[in-house]
Structures are given as structure tokens and as C-alpha cells.
Chain A
Amino acid sequence: MPDSNGQPPSGPPEAGLSRRSFLRTSALLTTGLAALAASLKPLMDMNDFPTAERFMQKYYKELTPPEMEKVLKRIENDVEREYGIRPHVRDLKPMEGVQFVYCLNLTRCIGCRKCVHACVAENNQSRTPEIQYIRVLRLPHGSLDIEKAEHNYAPESVPEKGYFYMPVQCQQCQNPPCVKVCPVHATWQETDGITVIDYDWCIGCRYCEAACPYWARRFNFTKPSVPKERINPEMAYLGNRPRRQGVMEKCHFCIQRTRAGRYPACLEVCPAGARKFGNILDPNSEVSYILKNKRVFIQLKEELGTSPRFFYYFDV
């Protein structure tokens, strides 16, 4: 750059580019480029370099059915290459006339955390680092004050005297703060009430994670790792297909199961029968019965106006 401080340039004037200054400039330039290249070296062991195809992939809602077919094929190939197992990836759409609701019986929950592990296995969650959608809180008898919750309780056996247990996962709010704050529409609520994430569209800003009052969202701080033999090959695009580094994920009511007429994994595994799931628009469903007949049920942090589709109730 021109010497703007007004000092005379070193070297003989009028010479244009003298040999000395030419050598000096090129030496500087070479050193600079070499330094830049050296500083970029960590890119060599890139975890997950996006291919051009993945880089250019369109937003979920803009994919035409044939394009979606191609994308699903590509995902199947990717998974097969990486995990050595051919998965079955579907794009399951919400069913007409269905709105899902979850009810959890606090009188029955014994805090065994079987739901947590069933969820991890079903949804191909990262084992290292550990990602879990469900967090079971142990609360002292008589208080629903979450600040008194113990997360890392580890007794010989459960349930323990003087405590009750409250599993918390995505509450599938009717008025979800996470959806509102996402700058790129990468997360939205579907007509059956499930809030989903397009893992291929999320930019990883973690604003939704800050916005969620239930701490339901989990971020892939590095490339998730699932042992090959543990992969669940029955996958959905908006559900449990393997995620990539740098994107958000969370509970989606086991979309790959529930949109195909099955129960969520956490419900099936519960030994206490504390978990109930179904279509609130069907007056004969179990959840309709519970919400009509139980005297008390709780929506967590009701005062925030998020209106969860997840209800806690008691046997009264």
C-alpha cells in the first residue's frame, strides 16, 4: 500500500520497482500466503465436508415429489456408505384429522429412565457425545418447582421415598417459541401438531435452543456417532435419519412410528404404563378420555402461553 505517513519510500526513487523492493515484496507475499495456508491446515481433517449436491439441496417444503424421491435415495446411499446398512427412509406426511397429544401420569412414573434409552436407540441419537431427548427430573415430594429438580440422581433402585419423577421432552407447543425465532424457517409445526426440523436446512445458530422454555432441543456440537450395529434402519426424513454436525435436533414424537400408526418408543418401553399417546380429535382415544376425566392436569410453564400438547396428570 502507498506509504501514507508521508515518509519517503526506502530504496532509490524514480526506479519504479527496484530489484530489492521487488524481492522484498515477493518474499513478503510468499510468506503471507504460506502463513495463510498453514493457518488453514486444520481443514484437512474436516469431519463432514458437504458435497455440492448437499450444499445446494432445497428447503423441505420446496422439494417436488420427484426431487424428494432423489433426496431420499441419496440419504439411503449416504447411510449405507457410512454405516454399512441399507436403511428405509420415508417422507411421512401428517394424517388428515389427526392431532397428537401426549399424556404422562406423574403418579405412575418411577424414574427408571427406560424411556430415555429407548428413545436414543429408536432415534439414532449420538452416543458420543451423548444426546438424549428426554430428561427425567427427580423432584422432592410436594413441589413442582423445577429449580429444585435433581437431574443426575443415581440410587440403587427406583422409586425412592420422598420423591417423584417428571420426564421432560419436547412439549410440542401449539404456540412454539422455537419456530417463531428461527431465522430460516428450518423448524415448523406440522398439521398433526408435531414441530419438526429440516436437518438439511438448519444453519446452527441455536436461537431456538435459547428460546425453548423446556430445554428440549439438542445441538450436534460435533459429528454425531452411532455404532454401526445400533443403527435403526427404519427412518423418516423429518424424524430419526442420521443428523450431521452443526445442526439442531429434538423429540418429534417418533414421527417414523406415529405417522405409520404405531406408538412412540418411549411409550412402548414404559414399565409403569405412565405414558399415553393418541389423537385428541378422536373422542374415543385414550388421551381424549384422560383430558376429559382426570381432575388435574398440568401444562408445564403454562404461564408462558406456549400451550403444550404434552400434559402431566395424576391418578385422581
Chain B
Amino acid sequence: MGGLTLICLLGINAYARQFAQGLIVTGMSDEVSWGVYIANFTFLVGVAAAAVMMVIPVYIYNNSELHDLVIFGELLAVAAILMCLAFVTVDLGRPDRFWHLIPGLGQFNFPASMLSWDVIVLNGYLVLNAHICGYLLYCRYQNRKPAKWFYIPFVFIAIVWAVSIHTVTAFLYVGLGGRPFWNSAIVGPRFLASAFTAGPALIILALQVIRRVTDYRVTDRALLTLRSIVQVSMLINVFLLLNEVFKEFYSGNLHVASSRYLYVGLHGHHALVPWIWTAIVFNLAAMVLLVLPVSRSLRWLNLTCVLAIIGIWIEKGMGLVVPGFIPSPLGEIVEYRPSLNETVVCLGIWAFGLLCYTLFLRMSVPILQGRISKANEGAHPVEPAYVRATYH
């Protein structure tokens, strides 16, 4: 945690520099006016949305293996949304005018602007998830049964809402008629498929970390249930990618320039080519591993998850945001490379998110284990009381 705090501070330092001197300290320009901030934002919205992929089996299919683990998934969603909000904030040229966005106080362009939709769905999702895990943990702490009516409806709302946050984020891009690379109906479905791959993959890794550093019991079967989610999503993800690549290159009209820039380079400019091929190789390797029974062993599953996460982070982040700007609407090719300062800000936000998640887990694991509860408050440390209140 000390290390994370240090990176956080470095990030704050880099952001302070940006705040004072302006976005000129980033690699962005009038040609490529969004960069790695918005790329990370897009990726993390997906991670947040993917929390539902644990909620659905539990509450719709009554899968008890994942039951308690849902809370860890939702806490990850909360941490991811916090990171999203941080990434959007650092991308603003005038963060001091943030209040102009607050409905009632400022001028909120709803429903015309997709960005105003995004503000609503992201904050709504944050509140929903914070409520669900907060309430369940509070009840566990009080050692009492949670009232179903007070959280089950919200669970179902959150499932729909999770789809909405990523759909709205996709529409942010899809809605721009002047950017052919984004203005395609498949972007939304691809967002969801990749999110439901990378999110659960991240949760698989997180759960194993939890299992290692605490004595919280996470069964292998729970991890394998998540594996099948990742498996199906990755197949759909790769299928949709193929659809897009075919449409772009086979028809070969003028609008293929951005895709050409991304995959093979355009007029001698190919900064993104190595990245996107890394992503494709990682995604395909992950897909093959997921289909093979070998990924039932945890070591291979972890490798697969890492490949999938990195592959999708590249593809959904830089691979989606940057080519939309290249070439510019007037046909100019200006490439983008994040500056050092920009990169440090990003690392700082990731460290901040991990720090939040660590804190959430440190608070919730003992509560879930019954080690911290109202009953033994004030008493001297006792051996963990594994009184597990059932609340379903």
C-alpha cells in the first residue's frame, strides 16, 4: 500500500503540473484531441459494467458458488467507476468549471449530449453498487438478515444499468457522424463483449489475490464458473472483431483510412500497428487457451486472463480512441504519443483505484468472515467467528 500511495502522489504531482500549465503537457493536439485518458476511461467503464457478469448467475440462476463473491465484484465496479470519474476529470481543460455540469446548478445538455447521459449513468451506477454492497456488508456487520426488498430490486436495476453504462459510453463515439471509424453500429456490441471478457478475467485474478492474502475461502469452482463467462465472451468478441475487419477492408471505400492506419499504417505512419497486432495476438491466444481444457488449470487460466486483459486494454483503449482521429477530418495525419507527464497521471489514477479496492477489501473481508461485527465489538480479539449469516 505504501507503494501505491507513492505512485498516487507522483500522479498528483503530474496532474498539478497539468493543472497549472494546461493540457499542453500531454501528447494531445487539435488533431488527436483525446488520448490515453479517455482510452483508460473507456476500458474501465467496461470493467465496471462486467461486475454484473457475477451478479447474473447468482441472482438469476441461483448459483451459490459465486454468492458472497458478488460483493467483491461489485466493490471492483465501485473502484473502477471512481477511476473512470478521475480519468474524465483529468481530461478536462477547465476542471474548475466542473460545476457547470451539475444539473440544476449549471447547464446540463440533457438529453441531446451523450456526455450528459454518461454523467448520469456512471454516477447512478456508482450509487447503485455502493448501496448494494454497503447494505449487505452493513447487515452482515449487524449480524442480521438483509431485507430483500431493500436490495434485490436494486440488484436487477444494476444489471440493466451495467449494460447501459457501456452502451452509453459506446454511443459517445458512435454518435459522431463525422468520424467514420466510430460511426458504426457494431461498436456498442463490441464494447459489451470485450467488457464481459476483460472484467471477469480481472475478477478471476483479484479473487485469487484475495484468497492468497486473506484466509477468505474462494472455491476453484467459482473461478471456473467465471472462466466459462470469459470463454463465451471472448468468442463473441473475436467474432465481432472479424465482422468489423471484414466490413472495413473488403468494401475498401474511402472511410477505410482509419482502419488502415490502425492495422497496417497509412502513408508511412504506423505508430499503432505494433500495438494492435499485439492485442490481436493476445486475444487470439487467449481465445484458443479458453477453448482448450488446459485453461481449467489455474496457472493456465491466469495466463489466459492476463493475455485477455492486456489485449482488450490495448484494443478498447488506444486502438479505439486514437485511430478515430487519424486521419483528421481534413485528411491530415498527425500521430499521437502520450507524454511522460500524461503517463504518470494515468499510473497515479490506476494506483488510486487499486488503493481504493484494497481498502474496500480490507474492510469487507473481515466483515464477511464475521470477524468484525457488532456482536464482538469492543471485545478483545477473539478467534474468527465463522458465523455465516445466510441472507438469501
**B281 CB contacts on chain A under 8 angstroms:** none
**A221 CB contacts on chain B under 8 angstroms:** 22-24, 26, 28-29, 93
Instruction: Establish whether residues A6 and B113, one from each chain, have CB atoms under 8 Å apart when the complex forms.
Output: no
Number of interface residues of A (CB under 8 A): 69
A-B residue pairs, 3 tightest by C-beta:
A204-B93, A213-B178, A246-B93
Instruction: Establish whether residues B34 and A210, one from each chain, have CB atoms under 8 Å apart when the complex forms.
Output: yes
Instruction: Establish whether residues A209 and B30, one from each chain, have CB atoms under 8 Å apart when the complex forms.
Output: yes
Binary per-residue interface labels of chain A (1-23) against chain B in the complex, 1 for a CB within 8 Å, 0 otherwise: 11011101000000000000000
Asked if A158 is at the interface of the complex by the 8 Å CB criterion, the answer is: no
Which of A40-48, A69-77, A110-118, A307-315 faces chain B? A40-48
Instruction: Establish whether residues B93 and A42, one from each chain, have CB atoms under 8 Å apart when the complex forms.
Output: no
Asked if A147 is at the interface of the complex by the 8 Å CB criterion, the answer is: yes
Whole-angstrom distance between the Cβ of A5 and the nearest chain B Cβ: 7
Binary per-residue interface labels of chain B (15-47) against chain A in the complex, 1 for a CB within 8 Å, 0 otherwise: 011011111101011110110000000000000
Instruction: Establish whether residues A205 and B330, one from each chain, have CB atoms under 8 Å apart when the complex forms.
Output: no
Contact of A304 among B107, B119, B178 (CB under 8 A): B178
Instruction: Establish whether residues A39 and B28, one from each chain, have CB atoms under 8 Å apart when the complex forms.
Output: no
**B325 CB contacts on chain A under 8 angstroms:** 210
B19, B95, B329, B332 — most chain A CB neighbours (10 Å)? B329
**B31 CB contacts on chain A under 8 angstroms:** 215
Whole-angstrom distance between the Cβ of B319 and the nearest chain A Cβ: 16
**A1 CB contacts on chain B under 8 angstroms:** 359, 362
Asked if B63 is at the interface of the complex by the 8 Å CB criterion, the answer is: no
Asked if A82 is at the interface of the complex by the 8 Å CB criterion, the answer is: no
Instruction: Establish whether residues A206 and B93, one from each chain, have CB atoms under 8 Å apart when the complex forms.
Output: yes
Given contacts A147-B254, A147-B327, contact A207 B371 (CB under 8 A): no
Q: Specify the chain A residue showing the minimal Cβ separation from B367.
A: A4
Instruction: Establish whether residues B371 and A202, one from each chain, have CB atoms under 8 Å apart when the complex forms.
Output: no
**B330 CB contacts on chain A under 8 angstroms:** 135, 137, 146, 149, 151, 168, 214-215
Asked if A218 is at the interface of the complex by the 8 Å CB criterion, the answer is: yes
Which of A100-108, A179-187, A283-291 faces chain B? A179-187
Instruction: Establish whether residues B365 and A42, one from each chain, have CB atoms under 8 Å apart when the complex forms.
Output: no
Asked if A50 is at the interface of the complex by the 8 Å CB criterion, the answer is: yes
Instruction: Establish whether residues B101 and A183, one from each chain, have CB atoms under 8 Å apart when the complex forms.
Output: yes
Contact of B177 among A146, A213, A245 (CB under 8 A): A213
Contact of B10 among A39, A137, A168, A212 (CB under 8 A): A39
**B112 CB contacts on chain A under 8 angstroms:** 180-181
Complex CA–CA separation, A215 to B332 (angstroms): 10
Complex CA–CA separation, A39 to B330 (angstroms): 40
Complex CA–CA separation, A45 to B22 (angstroms): 12
Write 20 A-B pairs (CB below 8 A) sorted by A numbering: A8-B381, A36-B12, A43-B16, A146-B330, A149-B330, A149-B332, A168-B330, A177-B176, A182-B113, A184-B101, A205-B115, A209-B30, A210-B324, A213-B179, A219-B93, A220-B22, A222-B23, A245-B93, A246-B92, A305-B177
Q: Specify the chain B residue showing the minimal Cβ separation from A139.
A: B331
Whole-angstrom distance between the Cβ of A104 and the nearest chain B Cβ: 15
Complex CA–CA separation, A148 to B10 (angstroms): 44
Whole-angstrom distance between the Cβ of B164 and the nearest chain A Cβ: 17
Asked if A223 is at the interface of the complex by the 8 Å CB criterion, the answer is: yes
Asked if A270 is at the interface of the complex by the 8 Å CB criterion, the answer is: no
Instruction: Establish whether residues B93 and A220, one from each chain, have CB atoms under 8 Å apart when the complex forms.
Output: yes
Asked if B328 is at the interface of the complex by the 8 Å CB criterion, the answer is: yes
Complex CA–CA separation, A26 to B108 (angstroms): 45
Asked if A226 is at the interface of the complex by the 8 Å CB criterion, the answer is: no
Complex CA–CA separation, A4 to B365 (angstroms): 8
Instruction: Establish whether residues A213 and B329, one from each chain, have CB atoms under 8 Å apart when the complex forms.
Output: yes
**A222 CB contacts on chain B under 8 angstroms:** 21-24
Complex CA–CA separation, A223 to B381 (angstroms): 58
Complex CA–CA separation, A202 to B213 (angstroms): 47
